[in-house]
Amino acid sequence: MPPLEINARKHGGRTVVRLRGELDIACSDELRRQLRSARAEHGEHVVLDLEDLEFMDSQGLSVIVGCYKAVTAAGGSLALAGPRPLVRRTLEITGLHRRIPVLPTLAEAVAAGPGPAAQGS
């Protein structure tokens, strides 16, 4: 299994966190730490770039839900960009796509901006 790679940067007024590899129980705590750090450094309007995420288990979903709760409590927002079919299906089965905007590409997620206007799936 490829290890999870996490890269964070500021882009278009958003904190973009790119995930590459597999998000599972083995790396969920590290992702939580990296997300907190990225939010502190770049801001509370977050886009998770999932284009290169190959797999996500329930612990990965838990990290995303925790991030969503933290950013919205701080007045920020969360959007998910470009999930592969397997990851998108996981979001749909759990209903998470109804709560967190899921957009086809990173460009669309960043262009949509924070808040309700980013809704789309």
Query: pLDDT-based confidence at 120, cuts 50/70/90?
Result: very low
Phi, psi of 14, rounded to the nearest 5 degrees: -120, 155
Residue with tokens 């920020």: 76
Q: Measure the CA–CA gap between 71 and 119, rounded to whole angstroms.
A: 16
Structure tokens at 90: 């996981």
Counting Cα atoms < 13 Å in the Cβ hemisphere of 17 gives 26
Residue 1, pLDDT score: 54
* Nearby residues of 27 by Cβ (< 8 Å), 6 or more positions away: 3, 4
pLDDT in tens, 64-105: 999 999 999 999 999 999 999 999 999 999 999 999 999 999
